[in-house]
Amino acid sequence: QQQVRQSPQSLTVWEGETAILNCSYENSAFDYFPWYQQFPGEGPALLISILSVSDKKEDGRFTIFFNKREKKLSLHIADSQPGDSATYFCAASVPGNTGKLIFGLGTTLQVQP
Amino acid sequence: EAAVTQSPRNKVTVTGGNVTLSCRQTNSHNYMYWYRQDTGHGLRLIHYSYGAGNLQIGDVPDGYKATRTTQEDFFLLLELASPSQTSLYFCASSPRTSNERLFFGHGTKLSVL
pLDDT, greater one: B101 or B49: B49
Best residue of A5, A50, A103 to probe chain B, by most B CBs closer than 10 Å: A103
Instruction: For chain A, list the domains and their CATH numbers.
Output: 4-112 (2.60.40.10)
**B12-69: pLDDT as tens digits:** 999 999 999 999 999 889 999 999 999 888 899 999 999 999 999 999 999 999 999 9
CA angle B100, A35, A102 (to 5 degrees): 70
Q: SS3 for A15?
A: coil
* Cα torsion angle, B74, B80, B81, B83, sign: negative
Distances (CA, A) of A9 to A2, A44, A102, B39, B40: 14, 17, 17, 11, 10
Contact A90, A6 (CB under 8 A): yes
pLDDT given for residue A2 in this prediction? 72
| A52 touches B at CB < 8 Å | no
Hey, what CATH class is B4-112 in? mainly beta
| B1 touches A at CB < 8 Å | no
**A51-96: pLDDT as tens digits:** 999 999 999 999 999 999 999 999 999 999 999 999 999 999 877 7
In the stretch 29-58 of chain B, residues with CB closer than 8 A to chain A read: 31, 33, 40-45, 48, 50, 56, 58
Q: Which residues of A touch B50 (CB under 8 A)?
A: 99
Is residue A49 predicted with pLDDT exceeding 90?
yes
Q: Measured between CA atoms, how close is A45 to chain B, in angstroms?
A: 7
Residue B98: pLDDT band by 50, 70, 90 thresholds? low
pLDDT given for residue B27 in this prediction? 87
Residues B48, A101: C-beta atoms closer than 8 Å: no
